[in-house]
Amino acid sequence: MKNKLTMKNECLAWFFLGPSLIGFSLFYLLPFVNGFYYSLVDSPLNGNFVGLHNYVSLLKNPSFLSALANTAKFTLICVPLNMMLSLGVALLLNRKIQNSNLFRTIFITPLVVPVASVVLVWQAFFDINGVLNSLIHTLGLQPMDWMKTDWAMIVVLVVYLWKNIGYSMILFLTGLQNIPAEYYEAARIDGASRWQEFFRITLVYLTPTAFFIFVISIINSFKVFRETYLISGEYPHSSIYMLQHYMNNMFMALDYQKLTSAAFIMAFFIVAVVLLLFIVERKISSMIN
């Protein structure tokens, strides 16, 4: 039998958890279940159950396949670049260089700048009449509309890196500062080179931090749609037509079957990648320990 104090504590815990659980159920769980139902019927109103037909037809849709390929390509490029550049910056700042606090502030600033302001800056820079084209014109070259060419992917990549390197850098810097200095001193006594210290100490003990940054970078790569949409609109250049563009257009067309099917395919992809990373990270951690 539970004593009165234990029961009282449990009731108090449920009392405080109740509002959060109700909010989670109303705004996350129920829409999730409802969306999955829409993906299995042929109409949102009095629809007939069609199983995986919506998913099969979606995987044969050229627009969806193009959006899927562009999203995968962007993620495969931007995530490793973000990790390498942010780790490089963190290693430099960890050496206690002059004005390191100023550099940290500069790299973190994009995190606190509103998206609308970010878009205005990049529009002013890459627009047909923008700053970059003005510089090109002074050099005697032909200006171009950067967001209407194959350079559009590079522009979006630069925006992503500018927005995320600072956050990843801070996390890496925290991980670096948690590595005991005695490990490096012992390695130097044994005659280890800088590269050996980096690969056998730094990277090994940064594994948990790198794993977390990798997951966050993947998630943030899907959030770049906001900037892309505001810069180039609903139908951008084919190279930056992402899954979020496709789902947004399906929402505008009230095609709930394609919208929910695409959303669940994207969610399945993210969950599968994260679970795979968890397995890899646990194996690496067990090897280290």
Quick check: is 240 in a domain? yes
| Angstrom distance (rounded) from CA 51 to CA 40 | 5
Q: Which residues of the chain are under the pLDDT cut of 50? A: 1
Quick check: is 226 in a domain? yes
205: CATH: 1.10.3720.10
Q: Count of CB atoms within 10 A of residue 171's CB?
A: 19
Instruction: List, in order, residues 6 or more apart from 274 with CB less than 8 Å away.
Output: 215, 218
Quick check: is 69 in a domain? yes
CB contact burial 116-128 (16+ within 10 A = b; e otherwise): eebbeebeeebbe
For 41, which DSSP code?
B
Quick check: is 19 in a domain? no
At residue 277, the pLDDT reads 79
Q: Which domain holds residue 189?
A: 56-288
Quick check: is 4 in a domain? no
Quick check: is 281 in a domain? yes
> Domains in the chain: how many in total?
1
Quick check: is 39 in a domain? no
**pTM for this model (two decimals):** 0.80
At residue 287, the pLDDT reads 66
Quick check: is 2 in a domain? no
